[in-house]
Amino acid sequence: MRELCFLGTSAGVPTRARNVSALAVFMDTPSAAIWLFDCGEGTQHQMLATSLNPAKIEKIFISHLHGDHLFGLPGLLCSRSMSGIAAPLTVYGPPGLREFITLTLRLSGSWTDYPLDIIEVDSDGELFDDGGYSVSAAALAHPLTCYGWRINQHVAGTLDARRLVQEGIKPGPLFQRLKQKECVRLDDGRLLNGADYLGPPRPGKKLAILGDTAPCTAALGLAQSADILVHETTLEAAMMVKANARGHSTSVQAAQLASDATVGQLIATHISSRYDAAGAARLLAECRSIFPNTLQAHDGMRIGL
């Protein structure tokens, strides 16, 4: 993971300044993949103002089926196909996501010309571990089934250069290939497996991206010790009862979670359309009163990891 790009930061409906939820994560994989988290209405329009290449989107994670997190997905899927993108795409989300996608495409006479895999998440736990990254999901506190996500990076172990030199192998480009776990045939016929010369994997960056939620223990588990926590701050502290009744969190509650989970940085997003710039600034101030290392996301904001 190398960068976050916020494509939409409004809750419920778009405003003049903010579109509805979508977040792109630029990965540092060999393919320079992009993972998209939620896809509210207008997300592909937001992409046009960035350097984001839809062909690089390899995975999409939909937190839940409320429209402000979902209604941009059919358009993006179709546009990707109409652009001639043949790369496969995997979409993760709660039960009902497959029906939504297949029914929308069928009724609109649309299709995809690339392999599309839809994976419905129906329990908490690890979704996958590809060796470089693992992704876990947990259900949050919201009227619809809503998932939060945690992405853990695995950094390859240190290459045992001393052992290689002892075996008569000179430092150079070969070392880099072995560090990538390649199998290399030497001029003398020996076959070296890079994995045999690497130490154990080391923990890397940790990112938690939570969907809509009232405070809950699952959120704390996903956020624990994350380098960055992306969390909704739909309403101000004075509106806690209303926020929680609708499955949302206040600014102060998000900041308290960040503090309890000892995260590195909180990024506040999903801001109610009732707030203008001054109102949004008040939300940020409330967050910082509890957790000083808070940023408030705005559309187009990019932040490195």
Tell me which residue of 207, 291, 296 sits closest to 252, measured CA to CA.
291
Q: Quick one: tokens of 301?
A: 């904001």
What is residue 8's three-state secondary structure? strand
Sign of dihedral through CA atoms 151, 273, 291, 124?
Answer: negative
Q: Whole-angstrom Cα distance, residue 204 to residue 134? A: 11
Q: Quick one: tokens of 113?
A: 């010309």
Element at 204 (helix H, strand E): strand 202-209
Strand partners of residue 193: 183
Catalytic residue among 68, 130, 188, 299: 68
Q: Quick one: tokens of 76?
A: 């993006």
Q: Is 68 a residue of the active site?
A: yes
Query: Cα–Cα–Cα angle for 148, 219, 22, nearest 5°?
Result: 35
Active site residues: 68
